[in-house]
Amino acid sequence: MNTYKLRYWNIPGRGESIRIMLTLGSLDFENDFTPLPFTIKNPENTSPPPFDDGSWAKQKPQTPWGTLPTLTLPDGTIVGQQRAIIRYLGKITQYEGRPLYPEDPIQALTTDGLMDMLEDIWPILIGLNGTESFDTAPLLTTMFGKPHLIDFLEKKMEPQKGELALMFDHIEKAYSTGPYLLKDQPSCADILLFAAIAWWGAAMFPSMEMILESRPNIKRAIETVGGWKKIKDYYSALKSTRKSLPTVGVTKYQDFYKNFHSLSMN
Ligand SMILES: N[C@@H](CCC(=O)N[C@@H](CS)C(=O)NCC(=O)O)C(=O)O
């Protein structure tokens, strides 16, 4: 069987870009959902349970880098690191006759630069930002069922000043020729941008608006990717499955996928 296996939590996070790349490559894959390692009460009769059942503590030492996502290749090799996996899949996946990871070294370098920039943003949104408090942890806050951290985000997104605003401005500039990073040539960088903004714009930000309102190039890029037929078909087929995701406090986990569905108009 030429099946790939993606191990990740059942959230978009760092796994969704890989799911999309596998879909674009028409590669057969299954999701191996690991329960999120949070001490949150599991709903009854769900298999696998969404929250900790001890699985991750056992799996972690067996992964190549101690983290998820991991991808098991058809020959059984297990690999890790989101961007490395995307690059690999981009080399074996064609879109409109060209690989999604460019063969030209300079274009590959540009693609890597954007993907590394996105990875630089991730920890600011995902972690505790040097404190022990949820007041500076946009993702953990919502995952534990509390409202989005508007004050924290507004500060970081202050025009021309906030740490995140400046980072998004660089990305906006990189997309000025558009619609893709490499002008008219789509690449895996555009897939990662699509997956990152859609995820951040639901899990950490209350919507994508705070990121996109003054950044039309990023908006155009992710809307363009969302319009690809294979992506539309993928999200259309999955829409009804989101309903079974848990609700914790004010957070409906199904909403973590909402922008993926809206950008692909499902
Ligand atoms: N640079 C890595 C980061 C991986 C990472 O931090 N994964 C998180 C989930 S998104 C994780 O495994 N957390 C659990 C842990 O570290 O024990 C990548 O891009 O794959």
Residue 60 Cα: closest atom of ligand 1: 17
Give the whole-angstrom CA distance, residue 168 versus residue 125. Answer: 13
Closest ligand 1 atom to 69 CA: 20
**C-alpha 106 – ligand 1 centre gap (Å):** 28
Nearest-angstrom CA–CA distance, 60 and 70: 10
DSSP labels, the chain:
---EEEEE-SSSTTTHHHHHHHHHTT--EEEEEPPBS---PPPTT-SS-SB-SSHHHHHGGGSSSSSS-EEE-TTS-EEE-HHHHHHHHHHH-EETTEESS-SSHHHHHHHHHHHHHHHHHHHHHHS-TTSSSGGG-HHHHHHTTPPP-HHHHHHHT-TTTSHHHHHHHHHHHHTSS-SBTBBTB--HHHHHHHHHHHHHHHHTSSSSHHHHTT-HHHHHHHHHHHT-HHHHHHHHHHGGGGGGS-EETTEEGGGGGHHHHHHTT-
pLDDT of residue 45: 81
- Residue spans of the domains in the chain: they are 4-95, 102-263
Instruction: Write out the CATH class of domain 4-95.
Output: alpha beta
- Looking at residue 242, its pLDDT comes to 96
> How many A from CA of 216 to the centre of ligand 1?
30
From the CA of 70, how far away is ligand 1's center (Å)? 10
Q: Which residue has the tokens 């080399």?
A: 91
Q: What is the crossing angle of helices 188-203 and 16-24, to 10°?
A: 140
Q: In a mutational test of the pocket of ligand 1, which residue from 7, 59, 68, 115 has the highest number of ligand atoms less than 8 Å from its CB?
A: 68
Tokens of residue 10, six digits:
């059942």
Pocket of ligand 1 (CB under 6 A): 13-14, 60, 67-69, 81-83
pLDDT (0 to 100) of residue 136: 87
pTM for this predicted structure: 0.97
- Of ligand 1's listed atoms, the one at least distance from the Cα of 9 is 9
Tell which one of 6, 14, 56 to mutate to probe ligand 1, the residue whose CB is within 8 A of the most ligand atoms: 14
Return the pLDDT at 132: 74
Annotation: CATH topology of 102-263:
Glutathione S-transferase Yfyf (Class Pi); Chain A, domain 2 (1.20.1050)
* pLDDT in the model for residue 95: 92
Given the CA of residue 13, which atom of ligand 1 is nearest to it?
A: 10
- Give residue-wise pLDDT tens across range 142-191: 999 999 999 999 999 999 999 999 999 999 999 999 899 999 999 999 99
Q: Could you say which residues of the chain have pLDDT below 70? A: 1, 266
Which atom of ligand 1 lies closest to the CA of 126? 10
Task: Compute the distance from residue 14 Cα to the ligand 1 centre, in Å.
Answer: 8
What's the gap in Å between 96 CA and the centre of ligand 1? 32
Residue whose CA is closest, atom 10 of ligand 1?
14
User: Residue 135's pLDDT is what?
Assistant: 85
